[in-house]
Structure 1
Amino acid sequence: MKTLPKYHPTTPHILIEGGVEFHLGKMKGDTINYDFSKMLIYLNAKGKLLFGKEFKIHEEDHQIIYQLCLYFIKDEVNCPKYNIDPTKGILLSGPVGCGKTTLMKLMRHLVPHRRPYEIIPTRNIVFGFNNLGYSIIEQYGNSHYFCFDDLGVEPEGKHFGKDCNVLGEILLSRHEIFTKCPLEHRTRAMTHITTNLNAEEIEERYGNRVRSRLREMVNVIGFDKNTKDKRK
């Protein structure tokens, strides 16, 4: 995991990167009033540090980034306007190359005073299952804070000749833990997901039970299906 920015516990809206201070908003009493334009400046600078000087935030992505910012700063006023529930995770969907994984790697640096999530490629999880078996489902179907990257590109699991829909089983296990958590502790069992699949494709791949339970676990934020591939 990349090093999170430096900050002082009493001023978590002031982040320090390479000796430069980024003020993401202003304190008013015990509340931080974040400024989206200043958050964009920070995210663009942090993105260049993480991914190279060619990184840039595209104007057409501002609406998606704005919603993600609202979610991560837990903006109680504006989250409901976008039907975002900060007590759930994020399912970030969109076509190949639109920048889903990059954004999820970047956004966790915006709020370093909050518990960070670990980003795990779904392919790696299935490869682990094929080698080690059902202990992998226990490892990821627990209350740790994960972002499962590229849901849907992973192969079917197979261990000692037995097929297993590994991510489907993990998501069902995590749903059970998530719904049993008291509301104030749900971040402990929260799940984020990036995927190229739409809702119907998720149901086709993982079944109606998984699709139904995902509705209880995540907020869906989606890129337009015509978003260009930024890797080209």
Structure 2
Amino acid sequence: MNNSKPHIIVEGSVEFKLGELDGNQIIYDFDKMLIYLNAKGRLLFGAKFKTFEEDREILFKLCNYFIKDEANCKRLDIDINKGILLSGPVGCGKTSLLKLLRYIVPHQKPYKMIPARNIVFGFNHIGYKTIEDYGDDHFFCFDDLGVEPIGRHYGKDCNVMGEILLSRHDLFVEEKIKTHATTNLNARELEERYGQRVRSRMRELFNLIAFDNASKDKRT
């Protein structure tokens, strides 16, 4: 990316203009952002990828969050200092969108997408160091939160992601380090999975953006 033109992203030989530069501020154009997201999505996920009109409201919220449009975020009740918890039914496109949206702001610190179940598998092999590894200043997006198994190391059970969320909350409070996540679970199911204390911390850690429960499975 050319830092003198942060509103223009180049993919191969094609330039995508996401808005206009006004001094040192980008005035983003949502429809132009959607054009780029569709093009980048096809590069990442294959020729069949597309965004759906029914998801336009979700995409509008997510785009405004990532570009840090304070006025729109305030109107949408989104705190740009918190992370995103993107919830919705299986196959609605949560993971693809959070993999994709980081590309519209290449000048911002990126986050790593990590499946929650992989973190638990790591814990089962090497123990509590796995939890410590997520207590640093990296930005993470935990994918499929809530459907991972309980961790077990040397015969001791551990709610691995619950412990990690507590440490990520501490990082957020102390250093404003963001965490994102996707989940198929609703608020009640998350509380059953992680307990009231973790659920309370999650409210402070995340903005909840939710697909409609009737959202279709886009993988079919």
What is the TM-score with the length of structure 2 in the denominator?
A: 0.98
Partner of 2:97: 103
The residue matched to 2:7 in structure 1 has which SS? strand
Partner of 1:81: 75
Provide Cα deviations, 1:115-168, integer angstroms capped at 9, x if missing partner. 100000001000000000000000113321000000011100000000000000
2: CA distance, partners of 1:201 / 1:53: 35
- Work out whether residues 129 and 136 of structure 1, in 8 Å CA contact, stay in contact via their aligned partners in 2: yes
Aligned identity (percent) is: 65
Partner of 1:199: 187
User: What does 1:124-135 align with in structure 2 at a 5 Å threshold?
Assistant: 124-135=118-129
Partner of 1:157: 151
Across the aligned residues of Structure 1 and Structure 2, the Cα RMSD in angstroms comes to 0.7
Number of residue pairs the alignment of both structures matches: 220
The residue matched to 2:109 in structure 1 has which SS? coil
1: CA distance, partners of 2:120 / 2:179: 17
The residue matched to 2:123 in structure 1 has which SS? helix
The residue matched to 1:212 in structure 2 has which SS? helix
Structure 1, 56-65 or 138-147: larger mean CA deviation: 138-147
Partner of 1:3: none
Cα offset, 1:71, TM superposition: 0.3
1: CA distance, partners of 2:211 / 2:11: 29
What is the TM-score with the length of structure 1 in the denominator?
A: 0.93
- Work out whether residues 143 and 174 of structure 1, in 8 Å CA contact, stay in contact via their aligned partners in 2: no
2: CA distance, partners of 1:99 / 1:13: 26
Provide Cα deviations, 1:59-107, integer angstroms capped at 9, x if missing partner. 1011101100000000011001111111110000000000000000000
Say whether residues 1:49 and 2:43 are aligned partners: yes
2: CA distance, partners of 1:141 / 1:148: 13
Cα offset, 1:18, TM superposition: 1.0
Partner of 2:113: 119
2: CA distance, partners of 1:231 / 1:169: 32
2: CA distance, partners of 1:172 / 1:162: 19
Task: Output the amino acid matched with 1:227.
Answer: S
